[in-house]
Amino acid sequence: MLKRMFIHKPVIECVGSPNLRKHIICPVCRQMHDVMFDVSIIDLSDAQWEPVAHGVHDRDVTLRCPSEGKAFHVTLRARSPYFIQNVNHVDIA
């Protein structure tokens, strides 16, 4: 019999509404950082988070925490207002 393993994915907390600056709490350092989100695309140009790479989907993005230096793969939930749903640790070479 095969057992299914469920891996708990930490969730980055964020507040705000679409097209506005969201305050995101890093699950590692627990410090709050600002990221600017848009309804159709994630704008990280004016963010304290360092953008590493954008995913194929416009709601997938990889962020690096400015204080810890750890990278997280972030997926936004496709509902309005958007909230960050899944955060996976990513190894960046």
Nearest to 40 by CA among 26, 53, 54: 54
| Selection from 12, 7, 8, 6 nearest residue 85 by Cα | 12
CA distance 8 to 17: 26
pLDDT band at 20 (very low <50, low <70, confident <90, very high): very low
Q: How confident is the model at residue 77 (pLDDT cuts 50, 70, 90)?
A: very low
Identify the band that residue 78 occupies on the pLDDT scale cut at 50, 70 and 90. very low
Give percent of the chain above pLDDT 70: 0
CA proximity to 36, closest of 86, 63, 45: 45
Task: Please give the pLDDT value at position 26.
Answer: 63
CA dihedral of 53, 48, 86, 59, whole degrees rounded to 10: -50
- Enter the pTM of the model: 0.34
Query: What's the pLDDT score for residue 61?
Result: 59
